[in-house]
Amino acid sequence: LNDNPSHYKVTLSGIVKSPKINFDPPFLMLMPVPLDVKTETTINIIPQDFLRKSQIQVELPELELEDGDRIYPFSVQFPEGKNIIISSDGTNKELICHISFRSSRPVSFLGNMFFIDEEAN
């Protein structure tokens, strides 16, 4: 610096953290109910390492019945909104999600519900 030919070496290191979502409880089991009766539960969605505001979307499963009809018996609601907010200390606020199931036809299901952010993570 200032016409001095000294060399300086700067080393940078870091850790890349990908945003992820955890669930409490980690899996969901809804109790059997009579036809056309709603069963529901609440889960906590725990976002981690989101660096900017994001919004959660849910891909609900479509079920095919024995006669070929297709139904969407699941629904979800986010009573406090589905935005992932970063607090002043850098952590992400938990989200509450109500999941419900109702079917007028007999059905059993074992599968996945996908919760994704705006970038399809």
The structural domains of the chain, with segments of one domain joined by +, span 20-116
Q: Is residue 110 pLDDT above 70, yes or no?
A: yes
pLDDT, one tens digit per residue, over 36-93 is 999 999 999 999 888 888 899 999 999 988 888 999 999 999 999 999 988 888 788 9
Report the predicted TM-score, pTM, of the whole model to 2 decimal places. Answer: 0.78
Residues 61-100 as b or e (16 or more Cβ within 10 Å = b): eebeeeeeeeeebbebeeeeebebeeeeeeebeebebebe
CATH 2.60.40 is the classification of domain 20-116: yes
Q: Are strands 74-77 and 95-101 parallel, antiparallel or unpaired?
A: antiparallel
Euclidean distance between CA atoms 26 and 58, whole angstroms: 16
Contact between residue 21 and residue 115 where contact means Cβ atoms under 8 Å apart: yes
Across residues 26-31, what is the average pLDDT?
87
Residue-level pLDDT at 51 = 84
